[in-house]
Every structure is written in C-alpha cells, then in structure tokens.
Structure 1
Amino acid sequence: MAKNKMSLAQEALENTPSFEDEAESTEELLNDTTFLNDELKTHGKIKSTFAGNLVELKKNSAKVMLQTTNEMVVDEFGLIHSGFIFASAEYAAISAVNEENLVIIGCRSKFFAPAKVGDLITFEAKGRFEEARKREIKVIGMINEIKVFEGIFQAVILEHHILQTKIDELQATINSKELS
C-alpha cells in the first residue's frame, strides 16, 4: 500500500542529517573562525545559532555560514523559514561594513530556492561606498552551487547608537521642560 504524503514527508525529515550529524564536518571551520567575532564592532550579542557564524572578515567584505536546524523548520517537509535566511544575510551585510553604530535602513532581496533542515548556507557580502556614511552591501547566499538568496542592503553609520540617540533627545526635551 502506498504511503501517504504526510508519512513520506516525515520519513524524509527523519532521514535528513541533523545539525549534530553535520556538526563534525563544519566544526573545524567554525571553531577556527570564532576569533572573528572579537574583530566585529557591531552586533556583539547576536545568536550564531539563528544568524550564522562569521567565518571571514575583510575590509568591505564578510562571509557568514548558516547551518540550518530543526528549530528553523516551518512544516513537516523540513522547509526553513525565510526569516532565518534573511537574518543571516543581514548579519553578513553588517559584518562587511563593520562599523559600531551601523543601522540597516533598507533592502531589496530575492529568494531563489528553498532551504531545508540540514543545509549549510554560505553568505558572501561585499560593501560599496566605503568613505560615505551611507553604505550599500550586496549579499549572495548559496547552498553548494545553488543561489538561494540575493539582496542589496542599504545601511547608514550613525554617530551614536540608534537607541541611545533617541534617549539623549528625550532626556534633552525633558530637561528643557523642567527649566521652563
């Protein structure tokens, strides 16, 4: 008797290598590059489990690798939620600029192919306009030789952290009202 779609999908998901199965093959690469996070001037508390691992950092370029896991799955087929892919691409973009008070202000992106649990996605980011406060960063995400993501991110470098700037402005407003 033929198996129904649900049982076939569940079987495929169970037979897909998990992060733990793939960990040994990528562990050396990821462990050898953990020092890069010390060189990164922004996003110091980002969770690599969901945004990927920074594996290469050069002036105006960066490479991030995202190992997809069961925690990212949205259905019984093992499809990865595109938000994790986008987050990893954004992480590559901000890493390529590598400035302390960097804020992403826009993005044009395309998803070309789906990712499934167990995939290792490599994001390469290249920044432009290095002398300006406003930057443009192109990010391409690949699974092996297949392009799954491409985006052009726009970013701006602020003088202060974006949240601190608003707090300072609010404090100044409060102080001026108290003096009145």
Structure 2
Amino acid sequence: MEIKTHAKIDRSLCGEPVMVKDGCSEVHLKCGNCMAADESGLVHGGFIFGLADYAAMLAVNHPNVVLGAAETRFLKPSRITDTLIAKANDTTPQDRKHLVQVEVFCGDELVFTGMFTCFVTKQHILADS
C-alpha cells in the first residue's frame, strides 16, 4: 500500500487509510470530541466531507491530484463516538480527469455519498505560485 498523495494530512481529522490500491481506497475515521458541532455530540459535516475527500484522493493516488468539484449527500447524522468507513472507487480512471464515487458508512448504515471530480495536474498546483 504505497501512498503517493497528501503525505502531510492530519489523519486524526481525515482518517487512517486501511487499503489503497489501483482505483480504490478505504479510510477509517474515529470521530472525536474535537469534531462536535454542539453539546449533543453531532459531528460537523466538514469532517465527514474531509474523510470522503481524502478517500477520493487516495483512490486516484497521484502526487498532483486535486479536487475540482463534488456532488454530495449527507444521509444520516454521525456522533462523536462513531467510527466512519469511507470506500472510494475511481469510476473513470483516465490520465487527467477522474470521477470517484465515495460512500461513507457507520457500521452497515450509509451516512454519506458523493461523486468527486478529481484532476491530475502536470505539475503541483502551487508550483508557479
């Protein structure tokens, strides 16, 4: 499992890769107190989106992969005690453009789904900055 992208990402916030291979990945995230949106323990959706985005990047697994767009749906709430599992599959593996389907589960329940449009640039996106 060689990871070629997002080397400096904070895995405590975006998840721990458990499988990365050609065109797919699986990432697990243990939701903690720092992710709470309120006193009830509801996890802020940004953390779930971050998990899904990271899984999409790993499915492409190229040093220059970037997110161009995402169409997502939050299906069920998540709590700070949940462990979420993101499964990503690159549905259109091409040289530059990739459509990656991501599903996030809590146990057997689907809590989030999304289609992530990812691009592989010729050089790092900040190379000329």
Shift of 1:130: 1.7
Structure with the higher fraction of residues in strand conformation: 2
Matched, 1:63 2:26: yes
1:75 — aligned with what? 38
Q: What's the TM-score, normalizing by structure 2?
A: 0.97
Matched, 1:47 2:6: no
Shift of 1:41: 0.9
Q: What's the TM-score, normalizing by structure 1?
A: 0.70
Matches within 5 A, 1:55-134: 55-134=18-97
Counting matched residue pairs gives 129
2:125 — aligned with what? 162
> d(CA) in 2 for partners of 1:106 and 1:143?
24
SS of aligned partner of 1:162: coil
Which structure's CA Rg is the greater one? Answer: 1
Taking only aligned residues, the RMSD between alpha carbons, in angstroms, comes to 0.8
> d(CA) in 1 for partners of 2:94 and 2:72?
24
Structure with the higher fraction of residues in helix conformation: 1
> d(CA) in 1 for partners of 2:91 and 2:36?
34
Shift of 1:58: 1.2
Deviations 1:158-178 (A, max 9, x none): 0110011x32xxxxxxxxxxx
Gaps spanning 5+ residues in structure 2: where?
A: none
> d(CA) in 1 for partners of 2:120 and 2:79?
34
Deviations 1:124-169 (A, max 9, x none): 00002223310000000000111100000001100110011x32xx
Matched, 1:136 2:99: yes
Matched, 1:152 2:115: yes
> d(CA) in 1 for partners of 2:73 and 2:109?
14
Gaps spanning 5+ residues in structure 1: where?
A: 1-35, 168-180
SS of aligned partner of 2:126: helix
